[in-house]
Amino acid sequence: MTTPFPVLRLAILGATDAVESTYLPTLTTLKSHFDILALHSSKIETAQHCQKLFNIPNITTAPEDILNSVEVDVILNLFPFEYHEKYTIAALEAGKHVMVEVPLSMTIHSLRQIRNATTKVVNARSSPGENTGAPRVFVGCARRYAPCYTDIFKKELANLDRIHYARCRNIAGPLQIPAHHTNGVNKRNGTNGTNEVNGHTDTDEFQNLLVDIFGSDDITPDRVAFCRFLGSLGCHDLSLMRESLGFPDAVSCVSITEPFYSANFHYTDDSDVDGHPFTLFYEAGVDALPRCDAHLTVYGARKTLTVEYDFPHPGEAAGKERSVKVTVEEMDMGEEQSNGHGDGTAVNGSGNRNGNGTATGVVRPRVKRTEYVSTCEEAYNRELRALHSYCTGETGPEVKTTPEDALNDLRLLHMIFSHYDRQCGTIRTPLG
Mean pLDDT for the chain? 84
Tell me the pLDDT tens digit for each residue of 172-216: 887 544 333 333 333 333 444 444 444 444 568 888 888 888 887
Domains of the chain in start order, with CATH, are 8-142 (3.40.50.720)
Tell me the pLDDT tens digit for each residue of 51-96: 999 999 999 999 999 999 999 999 999 999 999 999 999 999 999 9
Report CA 289 to chain centroid distance, whole Å. 22
- Residues 6 or more apart in contact with residue 312 via CB below 8 angstroms: 18, 21, 22, 318, 322, 376
Element (H, E) at 213: helix 203-214
Cβ 45 vs Cβ 15: under 8 Å: no
Tell me the pLDDT tens digit for each residue of 6-21: 999 999 999 988 888 8
Cβ 421 vs Cβ 183: under 8 Å: no
Across the strands, what pairs with 282?
A: 168, 263
Q: Coil, strand, or helix at residue 257?
A: strand
Specify the DSSP class assigned to residue 352: S
**pTM higher than 0.95, yes or no?**
no
Across the strands, what pairs with 74?
A: 10, 97
Burial (CB < 10 A; 0-12, 13-18, 19+), residue 16, is buried
Strand segments, DSSP code E, in 94-199 are 97-101, 137-140, 163-172, 196-197
Cβ 241 vs Cβ 168: under 8 Å: yes
- Residues 6 or more apart in contact with residue 213 via CB below 8 angstroms: 106, 107, 227, 414, 417, 431
Closest CA to 424 of 191, 209, 223, 213: 223
Q: Who wins on pLDDT, 144 or 312?
A: 144
Residue 123: φ, ψ to 5°: -65, -40
Report CA 334 to chain centroid distance, whole Å. 39
